[in-house]
Structure 1
């Protein structure tokens, strides 16, 4: 409809301030009148927009579709896209597109962010740096474990992990963090239960490595989509009520080790010496055996050679043997006196004075 410009102009003139009346004329109360808003609104009620409003509606729809079709994935994230609740794809960092108006929905998963789960560590959880800080239970009960040799130890630890499979993390397990907690505690109790208390207290790196391997295997079998990046085994100790007894046991073990080392030292000194003496005696006996055998063989060979000569000339050989034996015996008998059997008086032949001087 056409605007009634004359009436609008008349209303604007009425709103303008009127000049004051000349002096001597009455002030008659002729001030400006306020605008009549009802009349103005009545003028606009019948007004129609031009045909361009269809273009505005179309542009608004296009902007809405474009805004709901685009999404951005950060450099440390992955986007899990669902169409009517069903997983259709996983996209990486950058600008991506999807069906608009919640036909497809997007869930951003921080795959490169490191999270920390702490067990038996008595400290206030930092919820900004970790979404999961372990079950809200007594820290001592979580870390109190039975070792393989039926002793009790306090084993606090922490697990650092990340999301390695967005699909498994979102769809396979209802609460992956809670599953990690349960599996971590069960696995640590299994590893500690297979170790002695001394191994738990002194070989923490070995236990941590074995725990990490077993925990990752359990997480993969449960399809949690989580990866264990590091395991930190805190200072392990025995409970305070049994600490004095444990110290006494340690002192006794150290004393036992000391005695064992001393005994081994004496053993290392005595056993080699005894073995050397035994070896020497054996070698001496072997040498004596060889000498006796060779001597016996020589005597036997000499006897056989003499026997052969004896068979050829018995009388000559007997005479020679007799003379050789007398030649060996007589030199050791001192002075020798040969007396005729028919001699009756021996005094002229005996020099008794020389014998007395020899006796003195």
Structure 2
């Protein structure tokens, strides 16, 4: 048997390829080789050494296959010999090794989504089945027109047990359910409603129907939202469809301009009409009140005249002169009983005026 304790004169395999270790490490290695009974190359492996290595390997494999970690947004469904055993919360756990217990991780707190007609890079659904996206989007509306409808379904796994064991391929089943419901909802509306004003109603109705079907099929899935994306006509008619849309937009623009002019002119005319009517009413009331006042004054004056005609005549004469004389610039008073006319000081002339 070759000597395993190689000295400096006969370097061993390790020492030939690597530098010599310090004396303390050489002693430890030598002691280990002696206890293992010559497991180094060139030495016969005894049965006890093989047993020790087998036990160590068995323990290592058992520990490696027994420990597992459940993320914080998931739960683990444990199957023992293929039968459901338990549902494990997030954290570090142990299970029976060598495939006796199988842990399947299910994300229950993360929102998943399926996209129809398009694919966002890096956001694919792990349960999504590969299908022809173009075929999914081709739909027929209620007025027998064609449309390309793209939408997104956002959902969560509400019951891991039903999700794993009640339905085969739940991701693909959800995809088929979503496509069927969307075709039904779109088929009940015209193409104009689908493209323009009916989007919100389509989303709400599709959400309710998908929730009802997933509950009926016991899929363990909760639908959170259905959102429509791009809705376009088929490619062969897109140019004509765009021309029709432009014509409709031009029509709406002209109608809005006409309404704006109408709203600007008509209220102004209505305001002028109301103003003229109010002015006429005011003038009518003024003339009526003046006429009634003059009639009342004349009636009162007539009554006084009947009582004292001379006094009334003189009073009317004086009142008339009071109204007339202030408007006359130069006044010459002639009394027939006077013998001659004397010059009078013109009190109405202002200072500085020429005589």
User: TM-score, with normalisation over the residues of structure 1?
Assistant: 0.54
Could you tell me how far apart the structure 2 residues matched to 1:249 and 1:262 are? 20
Alignment of 1:321-360 (within 5 A): none
- Superposition RMSD in Å: 4.8
Distance 1:309 1:172 in 2: 116
**1:237 to partner: Cα distance:** 1.3
What is the CA-CA distance between 1:267 and the residue it aligns to?
Answer: 0.6
Quick one: structure 1 residues 88 and 312, their matched pair in 2 at CA, closer, same or farther if it must change by over 3 Å?
Answer: farther
The 10-residue stretch of structure 1 (285-294 or 304-313) with the greater mean CA deviation from structure 2:
304-313
Match for 1:155 among 137, 149, 153? 149
Contact 2:207/2:225 (8 A) holds in 1: no
> How is 1:266-277 mapped onto 2 (pairs within 5 angstroms)?
266-277=261-272
| Ranges in structure 2 where 5+ consecutive residues have no aligned partner | 1-47, 321-355
Give the alignment of 1:271-286 within 5 angstroms: 271-286=266-281
Indicate yes or no: 2:303 matched with 1:308: yes
Kept in 1: contact 2:178–2:210 (CA 8 A): no
Q: Which has the larger radius of gyration?
A: 1
Aligned equivalents of 2:142, 2:185: Cα separation in 1: 9
Cα distance in 1, alignment partners of residues 289 and 136 from structure 2: 83
Task: Give, in whole Å, the separation in 1 of the partners of 2:205 and 2:181.
Answer: 7
Q: How many residues align?
A: 263
Q: How far apart, in 1, do the equivalents of 2:272 and 2:122 lie?
A: 75
Aligned to 1:343: none
Pairing partner for 2:89 from 73, 88, 92: 92
Which residue of 2 is the match for residue 182 of structure 1? Answer: 176
Structure 2 residue 259 is matched with structure 1 residue 264: yes
> Contact conserved, 2:207 with 2:226, CA < 8 A, in 1?
no
Using the TM superposition, name which of 271-280 and 205-214 deviates more: 205-214
Q: Say whether residues 1:107 and 2:104 are aligned partners.
A: yes
1:91-126 Cα distance to aligned partner (Å, 9 max, x none) = 1234434568987654333556776534234x8x99
2-side partners of 1:102 and 1:133: how far apart? 27
* Map of 1:70 onto structure 2: 66
Of 139, 144, 159 in structure 1, the residue corresponding to residue 138 of structure 2 is 144
Change (3 A) 1:288 1:146: farther
Q: Does the 8 A contact of 2:157 with 2:220 survive in 1?
A: yes
TM-score, reference length from structure 2: 0.55
Distance of 2:189 and 2:153 partners within structure 1: 20
3-state SS in 2 of match to 1:270:
helix
Tell me the residue number matched to 2:159: 165
Note the C-alpha offset of 1:80: 1.2
